[in-house]
Amino acid sequence: MGGALDVPGNVRAAAAAAAGSAAADPATAADDGGGGAAGDGAAVAEAEAAAEEELVAEWNFYCDPAAAARVWRSDVRLTLVPLDAIEPAPMTPPLMEALKRRGVKSRYAALAAAAWAAVTSNRPWHAYDLIAAAYVVRPALFARVEDVRCAVTADGRQRGRVARVATGGRVVQVVGGLDVQGFYDMLLEDLGRPSDDDDGDHGQASEPQPAPEL
């Protein structure tokens, strides 16, 4: 999973949040009396610059754009599951509750619910790599696979960007059109399945619940 083709990237939001935190931190604010704290606003300026820098990159490609560009130059056949395919399926509160209920009988669901709860309590989250894996095991969940000529920006202010191009770059298969409810159903079914050595006791007893319809 990587790249953002026709949707905004997800790097800017994190940088903007960092800028807001820095601005609210008294340790980084300038002192009206002229005796500002160490750095006195430098952290704010740096975070704000970062927030403006990336409007287009997805986090995985942003972290190592040179590696992404190298893959693009290879002869390996590429299938891209970009942020475009991920965003329609957020980890919603009803989905998290359904996982918790299944966690009563399945250690897999219990572990997933606990892990995702740690990252969804104060910010949106998506099943990034799980959706990419879903294309491998359940390709029928995706309505589109199209050939797209695109290129990766390896450096500069738009490093990590994946963009459609008329010439150059390379043609990759781009996956889209996720059946969101079908993905949620698959996720809950697979994670809710007890293992052979599961004692089936991970909390209070609960009746099986259907997948949330969103």
Q: What is the reported pLDDT for 97?
A: 93
Walk me through the domains of the chain, giving residue ranges and CATH numbers.
55-191 (3.90.245.10)
Residue 28 CA to residue 120 CA, distance in Å, equals: 28
Q: What is the reported pLDDT for 195?
A: 65
How big is the chain, counted in residues? 214
Q: What is the mean pLDDT of each run of 10 residues along the chain (214 residues)?
A: 93 57 42 40 55 73 95 97 96 92 93 89 85 97 98 92 96 98 96 71 44 52
Strands 79-80 and 170-178: parallel
Residue 124: other Cβ atoms inside 10 A: 12
Q: What is the reported pLDDT for 208?
A: 42
Residue 156 CA to residue 113 CA, distance in Å, equals: 38
Q: What is the reported pLDDT for 81?
A: 98
